[in-house]
Chain A
């Protein structure tokens, strides 16, 4: 049974003045499910995500629709963290609350739990420039999670991290998802990350077209990387991507 459609993307095309980024994309994002957007560099993955987030620059030529509920709370984690160096870790994490004019005090408990889960509680008063890449990305994840969003968008969030840090952050996000299954869309160029992070894997080709929408049964197991099925899925995706 298909769940509630959270985002309905219809005949969606985006082009920049000198290049076409997305080409007639049609996809339904179902509430509570996770999606990985996989494809080669320059295939329009980030444009896809920014289109949903409403962050595309004015110079873009857009056709088609991204239909969402106006009340939908969206948050995004950027590859370069998007943290403000002049705010402490705590101020960065609670910024979305402050911007929405909500009472920060009411989120203190959520904050404490979240930073505990993400293992950054000891850095509350530190500034981002004093943290490692992995710690910064944990702060960025916490900031996007504190609002309890309906839709979390991850824009190649762990690609600049080393393999072990990357895996620990993927585990952290999956654990958060298991406790609170919100809809997550992860854009990545890593096949392993796509298999670990998405129960639906959408593959884009270099022309910005959706070539495949693969269901992934390996998703959801925190120990998936130790299992054969995970790597079989990776090989299957690798074959598909080579054929693009």
Chain B
């Protein structure tokens, strides 16, 4: 049982869910069995929606990591860049980026680009700040050590900065996954007919609660799948940690 910690949590969720099904109106809260039967029956249709959402999340996270790296490392390593960029980050971070969705749709169109851009925009600030703080917290002795070995330029990034901030980066990506799924759920309610967010809202509007619950289950499984991928990658890459 130790190797399958999810069994406990899934079991508890199913009990609560089933009790809700029994105690609340049965036609609003379908039973877990009914919901899973629906998922297996419509796996093709649901699978496409999940894949579209996963594609949007992966792309958004990848873009954000690249941009976050450039801005985070730039602000941490260069005082002038820090003095210029950090006030901008702090000023723009608290603005609810969801408000920009109409603008993004206007500039990037109604397709995937605007949805990916919205998720990236939301993740960008926290990933940049996490990377910046991670680089700033690297102990100066590591820089002295690599310098003493003749390392400079790219070697400092390869042997010190990148490995030192990796654990922080993985934590940041984990938080980002949670946020990006929530944001995407919102973004997929506009100008699309694909994606798990769209599927849930569409099912709700059709009063098809079994389909809606199937979407909710899949969004949860999607998150679990992504979190597990990050855990596995961290274990493989940050072996020393």
Q: Contact residues of A with B, CB < 8 Å?
A: 53, 55, 75-76, 78, 80, 82-87, 95-96, 99-100, 127, 129, 143
Contacts and interface: CB of A to CB of B under 8 A. Distances in A.
B240 A82 contact: no
A129 B167 CA distance: 16
Contact of A78 (B141, B160, B240): B141
What 3 A-B pairs have minimum CB-CB distances, sorted nearest first?
A82-B145, A86-B163, A127-B240
User: Majority SS of interface residues in chain A?
Assistant: loop
Given A84-B163, A96-B149, 20 more contacts: A53-B148, A55-B147, A55-B148, A75-B148, A76-B148, A78-B141, A78-B144, A78-B145, A82-B145, A82-B148, A83-B145, A84-B145, A85-B240, A86-B166, A99-B146, A99-B149, A99-B151, A99-B155, A127-B239, A143-B149
Interface of B: 141-142, 144-151, 155, 159-160, 163-164, 166, 238-241
B240 A96 contact: no
Among B144, B164, B239, B241, max chain A CB count under 10 A is at B144
A86 B240 contact: yes
Contacts of A95: 149, 159
Given A84-B160, A99-B151, A99-B155, A55 B144 contact: yes
User: Majority SS of interface residues in chain B?
Assistant: helix
A100 B141 CA distance: 20
Contacts of A87: 159, 163, 240
Contact of B142 (A84, A100, A127, A143): A84
Nearest to B166: A86
Nearest to A95: B149
Contacts of A75: 148-149
B147 A96 contact: no
Contacts of B160: 84
A78 B143 CA distance: 12
Nearest to B238: A86
A82 B151 CA distance: 13
Nearest to A76: B148
Contacts of B142: 82, 84
